[in-house]
Amino acid sequence: MKPDVLDVKDLKVYYHTPRGAVKAVDGVSFQLFAEERLGLVGESGSGKTTSAMALLRMIKAPGKIEGGEIWLEGADQVLARHGGKNGNGQYAKGGKVNLQTLTDEQMVSLRLSAIALIAQGSMNSLNPVMRIRDQIADGYQDHGYKLTKQELKERTADLLNRVGLRPSVADMYPHELSGGMKLRVCIAIAISLSPKVILADEPTSALDVVVQRQVMETLRRVQEELGASVLLVGHDMGLMAQAVDRLGVMYAGKMAEVSPVHDIFTKPLHPYAQLLIASLPSLDVKGEFKGIPGLPPSLLEDIPGCPFAPRCPYKMERCEVEKPILKEVAPNRHVACFLVEGAK
C-alpha cells in the first residue's frame, strides 16, 4: 500500500443560516494514497463538494470549517520554497502539514502548487476576457516562478500538448473553445505547478458522454505521468466505476462507506450503497429498476441515530438511537453501519 498523501480526520463544515446551523459535512474522515484515484460520490446535499472545497479552505460565508484536521504531503516543500515565515504548521508524520494550522496567506501559496482544483462546471471556469496563455501564466507568476517570456511560451505549449491541445489554443479566448477543450485547459492549469493532489469537482457534468470519456482518459494519463493523486467528486456512479480505484459514498454529510471500486460494485456493504447501485439502469438487461423511497434528511436537525435509518430497509432500533461510526470491517473497506459491523 503506497503512503497516504492526504489524510482527512473528522472534518466538520457547517453553514450558519437564519434557521440554524446546516451540518453540510459532519465528521468526515478519509485518506488519499499516492498516485491513487479516489471517488467521492453522493446525491445533492450529501456534502461532497463542500468537503472538497474545505481542503482548499475555500468555504464561503455563511459556511465555516468547524473542526477536523487535513494533513497534506508535500506542503512543507512548497511552504519552504515560498519562504513562508517558518510555517508554524506541525510537521509530523513524515513531512505532512496540517492545513488547519496554516495562516490564510500560507494556504493561498499551497493552492495550485500543492493541491489543485478542476472546478465544477468547467464551461465557464475560465476568465472570458483573458487569453488562455495568460490564464496559465498567472499561475506561475503569482507563485513566484521567475520565467522569461520564452520559457513561459515553451511551458504553456508543453502543458497544452500534454492535455491533447494544439499550441495555437494558447492565443485563443475561452468562448472560441468547445466544452471538451475548455476542460482540457483547466486540466493543463491544474497540473502546471505539478501538485501532489488534484481535486476534480464534477468536471464533466456538462459534457457529452463521448467527450467525457476522452477527457477522463486524458486526465488519467496526465495524472500517471505526474505521479499525483486525484480526488474525483461526482454523482455519476457509472463514471466512478470506470475512472477511480477506490470509492467513498457520502450521505447527509457523513461517509457511509469507503471501499475499493471493484468490491463496492460487486458486493456493496452499506444499505444506501446497495440501493444506489441497484437503482442504476444498465445496458445489458431491461429489468425493473427501482428508486430509493423517501427523502434525504434535513441537515438542520440533530439526527440522533443513523441519517439513512428512515429510508433503510434493514433498520434496527439501534440505528435510530446510536450514530454508526466508520470502521474497517474488511481489508481496506470502511463502513458506518451496525448491520455490517455485526456480520464482520
Convert residues 151-190 into a mask of x (bound to another protein by CB under 8 A) and - (unbound): ----------------------x-xxxx-------x--x-
Subset of 230-289 contacting another protein (CB under 8 A): 235-243, 261-262, 265-266, 275-277, 279-284, 286-287, 289
- Does 217 sit near another protein (CB under 8 A)? yes
- Does 225 sit near another protein (CB under 8 A)? no
- Does 224 sit near another protein (CB under 8 A)? no
**Closest to another protein by CB, 129 or 343:** 129
Sign of CA dihedral 156, 158, 160, 163: negative
Q: Residue 334 CB, nearest distance to another protein (Å)?
A: 19
* Binds another protein by CB under 8 A, chosen from 17, 90, 101, 168: 17
Instruction: Give the list of residues 6+ apart from residue 180 with CB closer than 8 angstroms, or none.
Output: 207, 211, 214, 215
**Closest to another protein by CB, 125 or 229:** 125
Nearest to 107 by CA among 137, 75, 135: 75
**Count of residues touching another protein (by CB under 8 A):** 91
Convert residues 139-158 into a mask of x (bound to another protein by CB under 8 A) and - (unbound): x--xx---------------
CA distance 178 to 164: 13
**Beta strand ranges found along the chain (DSSP E):** 4-17, 20-33, 37-41, 63-72, 91-92, 96-98, 115-118, 197-201, 229-234, 246-251, 254-260, 327-330, 333-335
Cell 496563455 maps to which residue?
133
- Does 22 sit near another protein (CB under 8 A)? yes
Q: Residue 342 CB, nearest distance to another protein (Å)?
A: 25
**Closest to another protein by CB, 98 or 109:** 109
- Does 29 sit near another protein (CB under 8 A)? no
Instruction: Give the list of residues 6+ apart from residue 31 with CB closer than 8 angstroms, or none.
Output: 4, 6, 7, 8
- Does 335 sit near another protein (CB under 8 A)? no
Nearest to 122 by CA among 38, 42, 206: 206
Q: Residue 303 CB, nearest distance to another protein (Å)?
A: 11
Q: Retrieve residue 110's grid coordinates.
A: 499551497
Cell 434528511 maps to which residue?
297
**Closest to another protein by CB, 108 or 147:** 108
CA distance 253 to 170: 40
Under DSSP, the state recorded for 149 is: H
Subset of 39-98 contacting another protein (CB under 8 A): 43-45, 47, 49-50, 53, 56, 58, 60, 62-63
- Does 210 sit near another protein (CB under 8 A)? yes
Q: Residue 285 CB, nearest distance to another protein (Å)?
A: 9
CA distance 275 to 79: 44
Q: Write the DSSP string, 181-197.
A: HHHHHHHHHHHTT--SE
**Closest to another protein by CB, 44 or 150:** 44
* Binds another protein by CB under 8 A, chosen from 120, 218, 229, 259: 120
CA distance 6 to 9: 10
* Binds another protein by CB under 8 A, chosen from 39, 296, 305, 307: 296
Q: Residue 226 CB, nearest distance to another protein (Å)?
A: 17
